[in-house]
Amino acid sequence: MRRCTLLPITDSVGGAIGFKVFEQIESNLKKSNWCTYISNSSMITVFSRYRENLPQYLKKKEVIATVADKLKVGSIIRIGIVNEVKGVELQMEVYGENGEDLFFTEKTILQTDDIEVIASSLGNWLDTYAKMIPYDATVTGILGDQITLDVGKGYPIQIGQKFIVKRLVTKKKHPLFKKIVDWESTLLAEGSVFNISDNQALGMIKVYKDDQKLAPGDWVRLEAFRAEDKIIDPEKDEEEKLGTLGLFSVSLFGSSSSVDTNTPTGPNRFSGNTFGVDLRAEGWITRQYFAAFEIMRSLGGVEKSSGSPVKSRANVNNGSFKLTGGYKYLPIGFFYGPQIDLYAGYANKSFDVDYSAADGLGQQSFSGILFGVGANIPINREYRFFTAADFIPIPTFTDDDDIYGSAKSASSLDLEVGIKYQYTVRMTLDASLETRSSKAKLNTNFKEVSYKDNVLKLGATFNF
């Protein structure tokens, strides 16, 4: 009911009055805080087909239900104007999404056809209807004890304000006028608001009053806000102001690494352990757009695992650099809720193994345009699960020691899954498993070279 639309306003003078009244009422609805207004512009072509018989067409419940379904609204406002000898007959009705439930109706005769007077009368009726809506917001998302509330832009709601959650049981209609006169509901839970953004708020359930689980569409009724509802801790308030620019992560890791080469004398495999550090910084351009860079460096050694290489052991010095930017999708509208990152940029991965031309060991790198996707999802108030996958679809293979020459094809892929623990307001402790693999197939007697690392990372992320 707090998502509304306005049907075309009909009159008996070919739209001369109705069109001007429509413009004014629509403008007022867009500015109102009781209703999230959804324009019917996408339905104009449909309405235009019935221009000659539009008043009768708009009275059909099937038409109203179709408009509600297409625009996802619950208050469909229908206004009709009939010109009289002196003035106009004015009628307004508000229907529900099924096209049959009549929530509000008013009718009067004005002794004038002045646009301002007509619009003022309709505005007063809409204000009356707004006060009759039996809830202040609806539940649109649920994550544990946290719920997302859909509220009108600018609706009077405050952090700390208490609320109750109800579920509609049945509607009562007037026996003669068929108008909805009462809504029977059951109390499900109590909670309070702890964050607000455009058209949405985030609430925390404190007490459950029923065994039924909360569901999208449940009603939320705000209680009168009291000053004591908002407890301000100056030190905590100052802490929560931090973390608005970005984050910085540092991780130490150990890796089980392998190098595979397919030489003229046969395939060889070297495997061993490497250790290193991974640094990542992310800056938030807006709450949904970001830029990031990541630097990794590892050292260690590998030994012969299979084949008949000349060398039995080699030192390894690997590194990578990624510079990316992307879009952060927030499914429930809040930054600390679930996040899905879509990003792209440039990456360079270098591999430096002690030189041995016969074994295909040396300095190589994979570089190119990188694409990736990541997710960061809260499990509860303390833990978050995260995962990421990025790849270079057509990497450039560079052979600094000129062992392999040009590559016929190449690929590079990184996969990571992990968990974050909210240690303080500004810091999380992180643990993750990551797989990194890069491979090149060649046009020479050296048929293939590939690098793979299975990584365990432990670190921390700091908000700034």
CB atoms within 10 A of CB 439: 19
Write out the two tokens for 108: 């009067």
Structure confidence at residue 230 (pLDDT): 57
Structure confidence at residue 53 (pLDDT): 79
Q: Please state, in angstroms and rounded to a whole number, the distance separating the CA atoms of residues 126 and 27.
A: 13
Structure confidence at residue 239 (pLDDT): 40
Structure confidence at residue 11 (pLDDT): 85
Helix 18-31 and helix 115-132, axial crossing angle in degrees, nearest 10: 40
- Alpha-carbon separation of residue 285 from 44, 246, 340 (angstroms): 38, 9, 16
Q: Please state, in angstroms and rounded to a whole number, the distance separating the CA atoms of residues 285 and 292.
A: 10
Domains of the chain with bracketed CATH: 3-132 (3.40.50.10610), 137-229 (2.40.10.410), 240-463 (2.40.128.100)
Structure confidence at residue 235 (pLDDT): 38
Structure confidence at residue 334 (pLDDT): 65
Q: Please state, in angstroms and rounded to a whole number, the distance separating the CA atoms of residues 385 and 247.
A: 17
E strand residue ranges, 111-158: 137-143, 146-150
Cβ density class 195-210: b for 16+ within 10 Å, e for less: bbeeebbbbebeebee
Q: Distance from CA of residue 22 to its chain's centroid?
A: 34
CB atoms within 10 A of CB 49: 10
Burial class of 321 by CB neighbour count within 10 A (0 to 12, 13 to 18, 19+)? middle
Closest CA relative to residue 205, chosen from 215, 197, 2, 382: 215
Q: Please state, in angstroms and rounded to a whole number, the distance separating the CA atoms of residues 30 and 35.
A: 8
Residue with tokens 């009603």: 219
Write out the two tokens for 370: 């990188």
- What is the CB-side half-sphere exposure of residue 444 using CA atoms within 13 A? 16
Backbone angles phi, psi at 228, to 5 degrees: -75, -10
Angle at 460 between CA 457 and CA 464, to 5 degrees: 145
Q: Please state, in angstroms and rounded to a whole number, the distance separating the CA atoms of residues 276 and 23.
A: 65
Q: Please state, in angstroms and rounded to a whole number, the distance separating the CA atoms of residues 332 and 186.
A: 25
Contact (CB, 8 A) for 376 and 384:
yes
pTM: predicted TM-score of the whole model, two decimal places: 0.59
Over the chain (464 residues), the average pLDDT of each successive run of 10 is 88 84 91 86 76 81 90 91 88 91 91 91 92 88 83 78 90 75 87 81 87 88 74 42 74 96 92 96 88 96 92 94 94 76 96 93 95 91 91 93 88 96 89 96 88 96 89
Helix (H) or strand (E) holding 180: strand 180-197
- Alpha-carbon separation of residue 443 from 92, 263, 366, 438 (angstroms): 78, 12, 17, 17
Q: Please state, in angstroms and rounded to a whole number, the distance separating the CA atoms of residues 134 and 214.
A: 18
Closest CA relative to residue 76, chosen from 92, 90, 88, 91: 92
What are the residues whose beta carbons fall under 8 Å from the beta carbon of 30, sequence distance 6 or more?
37
